[in-house]
């Protein structure tokens, strides 16, 4: 199961974690990721471009994928196989 927790790093460098109160007992694996200023700027640019894309563009891509699927031009997804 994947459970995403939100947190921030305070001015003192300590992690301030928002935790739900209904978590089940047991072991967890914690991975911390953060964005650099450059990554934040890149993400903001991506969001801006994505939001500016007309819905019709996504509709065409969806239709193209469905057409390829229905005509047998796609392969079954196998998570153990690397893409060609």
Query: What is the residue whose two structure tokens read 């819905």?
Result: 55
pLDDT digits (tens, 9 = 90+) for 57-81: 999 999 999 999 999 999 888 888 8
Would the pTM count as exceeding 0.75? Answer: no
Instruction: Locate 30 and state its tokens.
Output: 């914690």
The predicted pLDDT at position 84 comes to 60
The predicted pLDDT at position 3 comes to 75
Q: How far is CA 40 from CA 12, 32, 45, 46, 47, in A?
A: 22, 16, 9, 10, 10
pLDDT digits (tens, 9 = 90+) for 17-60: 888 778 888 888 888 788 899 999 999 999 999 999 999 999 99
Q: Give dist(CA 36, CA 12) in Å, integer.
A: 18
**Dihedral angle, C-alpha 65, 69, 74, 80, nearest 10 °:** 90
């Amino acid at each position: 199961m994947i459970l995403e927790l939100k947190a921030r790093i305070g001015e003192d460098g300590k992690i301030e974690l928002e935790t739900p109160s209904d978590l089940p007992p047991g072991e967890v694996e914690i991975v911390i990721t953060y964005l650099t200023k450059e990554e934040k700027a890149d993400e903001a640019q991506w969001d801006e471009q994505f939001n500016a894309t007309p819905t019709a563009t996504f509709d065409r891509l969806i239709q193209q994928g469905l057409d390829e699927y229905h005509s047998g031009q796609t392969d079954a997804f196998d998570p153990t196989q690397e893409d060609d």
